[in-house]
C-alpha cells in the first residue's frame, strides 16, 4: 500500500507540464504545491491538523481542500486552536468548526494523542502548521503524538512542510531524557535547525516513537528553500509571536517564563521587551494588562515595569544567554527567587545544568562550552534527515 501511494505520487509528478516544474525554483511551501498531494487525497477520508497558519496563498487550507472536493472528516486542534485565537496554555475544546460544520477534536490540555475512534476511520492525517524552530514550541510535541497514533492505528501521515524562521543555525543545550515533557520531547538542541518535515523524518528514523515504531510518513517539501534563507511569516504562528522580531528573540526570551522577569506578555509587544518592578537602569517602561486571547493573567499584572525595548535594538538575532545573565542582577531577586518557576525553567532548557550554571555565576562563554560536544553529535545525527541545503 505504501509503495502504491508513493508510485502514484511519482507518476503524478512525471505528468506535470514543464512550466509547473520550472516554477519550483521560487519558494513555495508544501501547501502551495497541490499537484504533489491532491492526487494522494482523492477518494480519501482526511483528518486535518491545521491552524491559522495553514494557508494556500490567502486561503485557509480547509477551504482550499473543500473547494477541491477533498473529504475532510475531522479537524484536530492543537494549542491556540484552529484559528489561533486561544491564549498560551488556554482551553481548547472539542466542537464543530462553525465555518464548515466539520467536527473538531482537541489535542491540547492533557489529551495529546487522538483516541483510536478519532483516527481509525481515516485514510490520511494531514499536518500543515507553521513552526518556529524552537524545541519548546509545542506544535512539534503534538506532531510526535500524532505520529505515534498513525503508527499504532495504521494511518499514513502527510506533512506539508514550511520553512523554519530560526532554521539558519543550531544552538543551546540538548534535552536530557529526565527533563522530557510536553515542552520538550526529543534529544535535540533548544534551537534545532529543522523544519517540521525534517523533524518528522528524524523521529521516525531515530526510533523515538514508543517501541521504536515508525509511521507511514510522506513529506511534501518546500520548493526553492535553503536553510540560510530568511523567511518572513505571513501569519503570526501564535498570539504572542506577532512578528519576525519576536520570533527571532523567542529562543532567548522564552526562558524568562521560568523567572520573575516579564518579557512583555500583556502588552502589544510580547517577546520583544524585558522588564521588572525593581529595575532602575532601563529607559523603557510598560504595564502588563490582560489581553483577551493572548494573555489573560500576565506576570506583574497592573504593575509598572522598567526595562529594555528590544524591538529595534539590533541584538539578539540568535540565541543568547546575555539577557538572562544581565537580568539576574537587574531584577534584584536573590538567586533562587529569580528562578520563580525553577522546574519549568529546567523543562524549557531541557536540563537543570543551565540554571545551576547561572546560579553559580558562570559566564556565557563557559556555559556554551558545556554543550558543544552534544551539539556536534546532534549535527551528525540529524544529517540523514535533512531535506534542504545549508
Q: By C-alpha distance, which of 218, 81, 228 is closest to 163?
A: 228
CATH number of the structural domain spanning residue 57: 3.40.50.12170
DSSP string, 268-322: SSTTSEEEETT--S-SEEE----BTTTBSS-TTTT--EEEEE-TTS---SS--SH
Q: Which of 233, 253, 286 lies at the terminal end of a domain, its last residue? A: 233
Q: What is the pLDDT of residue 84?
A: 56
291 with 253, same domain?
Answer: yes
Rounded to whole angstroms, what are the CA distances from 200 to 148, 152, 197, 389?
Answer: 11, 16, 5, 17
pLDDT of residue 298: 97
Q: Does residue 292 sit in the same domain as residue 218?
A: no
Taking only the tens place, the pLDDT of each residue in 345-358 is 999 999 999 999 99
Q: Is the pLDDT of residue 24 over 90?
A: no
Does 239 reside within a domain? Answer: no
Residue 387 · residue 201 · CB < 8 Å: yes
- The mean pLDDT value of the chain amounts to 91
pLDDT digits 0-9 by tens, 104-148: 998 877 778 999 999 999 999 999 999 999 999 999 999 999 999
Residues 70 and 152 in one domain: yes
* pLDDT at residue 13 greater than cutoff 60: no
pLDDT at 293: 82
- Supply the pLDDT for residue 20: 34
Would you say the C-alpha torsion 91, 94, 100, 101 has a positive or negative sign?
negative
Is 369 within a domain?
A: no
The answer as to whether 174 is a domain residue is yes
Same domain? 248 vs 229:
no
382 located within any domain: no
Residues shown for the chain: 390
- 120 and 19 in a single domain? The answer is yes
Confirm whether 372 is domain-assigned: no
Same domain, 302 and 200: no
Angle, helix 196-205 to helix 139-153, in steps of 10 degrees: 50
Instruction: Examine residue 368 and state whether it is found in any structural domain, yes or no.
Output: no
Grid cell digits, residue 79: 494549542
User: Do residues 108 and 142 lie in contact, with contact meaning Cβ atoms separated by under 8 Å?
Assistant: yes
- Same domain for 260 and 205? no
Given a cut of 80, whether residue 83 has pLDDT beyond it is no
Number of structural domains the chain divides into: 2
Which helix (H) or strand (E) segment holds residue 3: the answer is helix 2-14
For residues 18 and 96, state if they share a domain.
Answer: yes
375 part of a folded domain = no
The reply to whether 103 and 168 lie within a common domain is: yes
Cβ contacts of 254 within 8 Å, gap of 6 or more: 134, 136, 263, 271, 348
Residue 381 lies in a domain: no
* Mean pLDDT along residues 254-259: 98
Percent of the chain with pLDDT over 70: 91
For residue 388, what are the contacts with CB-CB under 8 A and spacing of at least 6? Answer: 195, 198, 221, 222, 225, 226, 227
* Cα–Cα separations (whole angstroms), residue 236 to 52, 65, 278: 8, 22, 32
Instruction: Among 5-14, 57-66, 87-96, name the one with the lowest average pLDDT.
Output: 5-14
Q: Do 64 and 141 belong together in one domain?
A: yes
Contact 143, 194 (CB under 8 A): no
* 233, 268, 287 - which closes a domain: 233
Residue range(s) defining the domain that contains residue 348: 244-359
pLDDT of residue 8: 41
Per the CB < 8 A criterion, the answer to whether 272 and 311 are in contact is: yes
Question: Residue 17's pLDDT is what?
Answer: 34
Considering the domain architecture, whether residues 81 and 174 belong to the same structural domain is answered as: yes
Give, rounded to a whole angstrom, the gap between the first and last alpha carbons of the chain. 34
Rounded-to-5 percentages of helix, strand, coil across the chain = 35, 15, 50
SS3 annotation, 318-335: CCCCHHHHHHHHHCCCCH
Q: With contact defined as beta carbons under 8 Å apart, do 326 and 276 qualify?
A: no
Q: What is the DSSP letter of 352?
A: S
Confidence bin at 237 (pLDDT 50/70/90): very high
Q: Is residue 287 domain-shared with residue 260, that is, in the same domain?
A: yes
Amino acid at each position: 500500500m505504501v509503495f502504491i501511494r508513493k508510485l502514484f505520487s511519482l507518476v503524478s509528478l512525471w505528468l506535470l507540464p514543464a512550466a509547473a516544474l520550472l516554477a519550483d525554483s521560487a519558494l513555495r511551501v508544501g501547501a502551495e504545491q497541490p499537484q504533489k498531494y491532491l492526487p494522494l487525497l482523492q477518494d480519501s477520508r482526511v483528518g486535518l491538523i491545521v491552524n491559522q497558519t495553514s494557508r494556500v496563498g490567502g486561503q485557509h487550507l480547509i477551504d482550499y481542500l473543500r473547494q477541491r472536493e477533498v473529504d475532510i472528516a475531522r479537524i484536530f486542534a492543537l494549542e491556540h486552536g484552529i484559528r489561533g485565537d486561544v491564549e498560551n496554555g488556554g482551553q481548547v475544546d472539542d466542537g464543530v468548526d462553525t465555518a464548515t460544520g466539520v467536527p473538531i477534536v482537541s489535542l491540547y490540555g492533557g489529551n495529546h494523542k487522538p483516541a483510536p475512534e478519532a483516527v481509525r476511520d481515516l485514510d490520511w492525517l494531514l499536518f500543515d502548521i507553521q513552526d518556529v524552530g524552537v524545541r519548546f514550541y509545542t506544535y512539534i510535541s503534538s506532531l510526535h503524538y500524532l505520529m505515534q497514533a498513525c503508527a499504532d492505528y495504521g494511518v499514513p501521515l502527510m506533512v506539508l512542510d514550511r520553512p523554519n524562521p530560526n532554521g539558519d543555525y543550531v544552538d543551546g543545550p540538548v534535552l536530557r531524557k529526565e527533563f522530557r515533557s510536553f515542552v520538550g520531547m526529543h534529544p535535540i538542541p533548544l534551537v534545532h535547525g529543522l523544519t517540521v518535515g525534517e523533524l518528522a523524518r528524524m523521529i521516525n528514523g531515530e526510533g523515538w516513537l514508543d517501541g521504536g515504531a515508525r509511521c507511514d510518513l510522506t513529506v511534501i517539501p518546500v520548493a526553492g528553500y535553503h536553510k540560510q534563507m530568511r523567511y518572513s511569516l505571513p501569519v503570526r504562528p501564535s498570539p504572542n509571536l506577532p512578528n519576525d522580531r519576536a520570533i527571532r528573540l523567542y529562543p532567548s526570551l522564552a526562558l524568562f517564563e521560568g523567572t520573575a522577569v516579564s518579557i512583555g506578555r500583556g502588552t502589544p509587544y510580547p517577546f520583544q521587551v524585558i522588564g521588572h518592578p525593581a529595575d532602575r537602569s532601563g529607559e523603557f517602561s510598560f504595564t502588563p494588562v490582560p489581553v483577551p486571547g493572548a494573555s489573560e493573567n500576565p506576570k506583574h499584572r497592573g504593575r509598572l515595569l522598567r526595562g529594555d525595548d528590544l524591538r529595534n535594538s539590533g541584538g539578539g538575532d540568535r540565541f543568547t544567554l546575555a539577557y538572562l545573565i544581565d537580568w539576574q542582577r537587574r531584577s534584584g531577586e536573590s538567586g533562587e527567587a529569580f528562578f520563580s518557576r525553577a522546574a519549568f525553567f529546567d523543562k524549557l532548557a531541557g536540563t537543570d545544568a543551565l540554571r545551576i550554571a547561572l546560579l553559580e555565576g558562570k559566564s556565557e562563554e563557559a556555559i556554551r562550552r558545556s554543550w558543544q560536544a552534544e551539539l556536534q553529535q546532534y549535527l551528525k545525527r540529524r544529517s540523514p534527515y535533512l531535506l534542504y541545503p545549508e
